[in-house]
């Protein structure tokens, strides 16, 4: 039998017991990440916390558990890739339509700008209503089943867009669609945390957002290209339906580590629905969500009506998402090192420059440059904020932490869509985007002066 050479690392007894919780002097276990072949392979067991467990005296030194063979934990395991694929398809199907819906409502139903804002904000209201319960469901029930049910409803409701023949019917379908979208994003992001090895979690959460960013880079560009080529919105609705169906099928293939369901907590406990320990961080990120809501929903019609850019919105979203992806890759090292507030501050300031440049309306160059800067900034800021929410939560509150940051972000986005609709209708697009720059400046000031210290005092991990 060939012997495999491994490196041994001495760990304190308290660290070993604290992490794995079941070592004894008579039983020593060696763990290897899912997807790597151990000396004594037993296969990838989804019920074993995503790790292999083997018994071997070759791994014992002096008969004590203080010496354990440690191998680097694998970030890109098979389940993590599946979860990222689900997330990509979820956001791709959604963002394929999002930038074109104002144009669709204007051309198909002759809706004015403030009515467009009301209709498009309906899904945000529904999303906000379901987010707190989503955190409760994924913390207290089988997460895979919750994910599958939510993804299935999300997929089915795309058919409603095809059948909506009046503005009222469209508004109802759009509002209802916010329920499974909000629940699916909470469930999927919580599942992603579950399948990540603990030592790579900060980094993995940052990379997880790349699936959103890639979808945001490709989907709006593809949607605008298809619409310009065909002039037919039905094709886009059918494409979103098909892609979301594939995402649902992918969600059924995810295997999760076994975990204990919560049974001893009060059923109506407030911390099931919102992470109160992070209230100031929630206010702060709501301001940033407001900025994103106005810009992302009105950039297409703004470019078309004001700047005369009929086919450049796709390039705008491509640059925006390129910035998001580059910043995620660049920031992963500092996230792994735990530099959360530094990452967040850098991102907030870069976004402030980008939004200000966008509001200035200096021409096409500022239109495209602002997209890149906002992408670079938000790509640094959001994963840092997400990690900050998780760091102030207990281990049994991961779902609540995820839902809380998404509630805050969506609340800001919903307000942004409503405010943007009314401001553009009665004052103009320039005023709406100066509101964005102002709100980003207020958010940056709040983070620098108050939120950084608030997080440092309340973090648990």
Q: What is the DSSP string of 85-136?
A: HHHHHHHHHHHTTGGGHHHHHHHHH---HHHHHHHHHHHHHHHHHHHHHHHH
* pLDDT 10s digits, 270-313: 666 788 889 999 999 999 999 988 888 788 777 777 777 766 67
Q: Mean pLDDT over residues 101-126, rounded?
A: 84
Look at residue 347 in the predicted model and tell me its pLDDT.
93
Lowest mean pLDDT among 20-34, 91-105, 239-253: 20-34
Beta carbons of 343 and 452 less than 8 angstroms apart? no
Give the helix/strand (H/E) hosting 214: helix 201-230
Look at residue 115 in the predicted model and tell me its pLDDT.
86
Q: Which residues contact 308 (CB under 8 A, 6 or more apart)?
A: none
Beta carbons of 96 and 223 less than 8 angstroms apart? yes
Of residues 185 and 46, which shows the higher confidence score? 185
Q: Mean pLDDT over residues 388-409, rounded?
A: 84
Whole-number Å distance between alpha carbons of 226 and 235: 8
Lowest mean pLDDT among 93-102, 203-212, 405-414: 203-212
Whole-number Å distance between alpha carbons of 135 and 398: 8
Residue listed under structure tokens 């995402």:
247
Whole-number Å distance between alpha carbons of 107 and 5: 68
Half-sphere exposure of 257 (CA within 13 A, CB side): 21
Of residues 213 and 382, which shows the higher confidence score? 382
Look at residue 14 in the predicted model and tell me its pLDDT.
42
Q: Which residues contact 424 (CB under 8 A, 6 or more apart)?
A: 113, 298, 431, 432
Give the helix/strand (H/E) hosting 29: strand 29-30
Q: Mean pLDDT over residues 370-399, rounded?
A: 88
* pLDDT 10s digits, 195-221: 888 777 777 877 887 788 778 778 887
- pTM > 0.75: yes or no: no
Q: Mean pLDDT over residues 53-76, rounded?
A: 43
Residue 315 pLDDT greater than 70, yes or no:
yes
Closest CA to 50 of 39, 66, 60, 36: 36
pLDDT bracket for residue 397 (50, 70, 90): confident
Look at residue 63 in the predicted model and tell me its pLDDT.
39
Lowest mean pLDDT among 49-58, 111-120, 148-157, 202-211: 49-58
Of residues 138 and 250, which shows the higher confidence score? 250
Look at residue 72 in the predicted model and tell me its pLDDT.
59
Whole-number Å distance between alpha carbons of 14 and 25: 13
Q: Mean pLDDT over residues 13-38, rounded?
A: 38
Percent of the chain at pLDDT exceeding 70: 80
Average pLDDT, rounded, for the chain: 78
Whole-number Å distance between alpha carbons of 401 and 192: 13
Look at residue 374 in the predicted model and tell me its pLDDT.
93
Beta carbons of 295 and 374 less than 8 angstroms apart? yes
- The three-state secondary structure class of 41 is coil
pLDDT bracket for residue 61 (50, 70, 90): very low
Give the helix/strand (H/E) hosting 10: strand 8-10
Residue 13 pLDDT greater than 80, yes or no:
no
Look at residue 175 in the predicted model and tell me its pLDDT.
92
Residue 74 pLDDT greater than 60, yes or no:
yes
Look at residue 235 in the predicted model and tell me its pLDDT.
93
Look at residue 261 in the predicted model and tell me its pLDDT.
60
Find the angle CA(345)-CA(347)-CA(353) to the nearest 5 degrees. 105
Residues in the chain: 461
Residue 438, CA distances (Å) to 183, 215, 290, 433 in order: 31, 28, 11, 9
**DSSP 8-state code for residue 75:** S
| CA 142 from centroid of its chain's CA atoms | 20
pLDDT bracket for residue 70 (50, 70, 90): very low
Of residues 393 and 440, which shows the higher confidence score? 440
Residue listed under structure tokens 């002039």:
231
Of residues 447 and 55, which shows the higher confidence score? 447
């Amino acid at each position: 039998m060939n012997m495999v050479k491994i490196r041994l690392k001495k760990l304190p007894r308290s660290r070993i017991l604290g992490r794995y919780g079941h070592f004894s002097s008579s039983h020593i276990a060696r763990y290897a990440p899912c997807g790597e072949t151990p000396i004594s392979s037993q296969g990838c067991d989804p019920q074993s916390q995503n790790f292999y467990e083997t018994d071997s005296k070759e791994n014992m030194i002096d008969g004590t558990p203080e010496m354990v063979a440690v191998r680097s934990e694998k970030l890109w395991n098979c389940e993590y890739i599946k979860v990222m694929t689900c997330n990509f398809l979820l956001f791709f199907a959604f963002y394929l339509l999002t930038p074109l819906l104002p144009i669709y409502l204007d051309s198909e139903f002759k809706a004015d700008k403030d009515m467009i804002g009301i209709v498009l904000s309906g899904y945000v209201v529904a999303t906000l209503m379901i987010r707190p319960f989503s955190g409760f469901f994924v913390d207290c029930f089988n997460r895979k089943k919750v994910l599958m049910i939510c993804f299935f409803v999300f997929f089915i409701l795309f058919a409603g867009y095809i059948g909506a023949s009046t503005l009222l019917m469209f508004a109802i379908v759009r509002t209802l669609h916010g329920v499974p979208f909000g629940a699916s994003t909470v469930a999927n992001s919580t599942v992603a945390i579950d399948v990540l090895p603990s030592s790579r979690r900060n980094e993995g959460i940052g990379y997880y957002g790349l699936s959103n960013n890639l979808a945001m880079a490709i989907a709006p560009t593809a949607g605008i290209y298809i619409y310009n080529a065909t002039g037919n919105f039905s094709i886009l609705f059918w494409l979103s339906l098909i892609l979301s169906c594939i995402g649902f099928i992918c969600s059924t293939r995810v295997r999760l580590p076994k975990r204990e369901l919560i049974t001893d907590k009060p059923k109506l406990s407030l911390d099931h629905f919102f992470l109160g320990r992070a209230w100031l961080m929630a206010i702060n990120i709501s301001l940033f969500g407001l900025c994103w809501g106005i810009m992302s929903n009105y950039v297409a019609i703004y470019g078309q009506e004001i700047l005369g850019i009929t086919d450049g919105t796709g390039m705008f979203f491509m640059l925006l998402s390129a910035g998001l992806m580059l910043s995620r890759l660049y920031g992963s090292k500092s996230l792994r090192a735990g530099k959360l507030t530094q990452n967040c501050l850098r991102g907030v300031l870069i976004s402030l420059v980008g939004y200000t440049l966008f509001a200035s309306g200096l021409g096409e160059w500022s239109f495209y440059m602002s997209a890149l800067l906002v992408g670079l900034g938000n790509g640094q800021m959001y994963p840092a904020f997400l990690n900050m929410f998780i760091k102030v939560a207990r281990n049994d509150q991961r779902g609540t932490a995820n839902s809380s940051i998404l509630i805050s972000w969506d609340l800001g986005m919903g307000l942004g869509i409503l405010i943007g609709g009314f401001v553009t209708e009665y004052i103009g697009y320039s005023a709406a985007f100066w509101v964005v720059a102002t709100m980003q400046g207020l958010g940056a000031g709040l983070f620098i002066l108050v939120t950084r210290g608030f997080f440092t005092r309340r973090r648990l991990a």
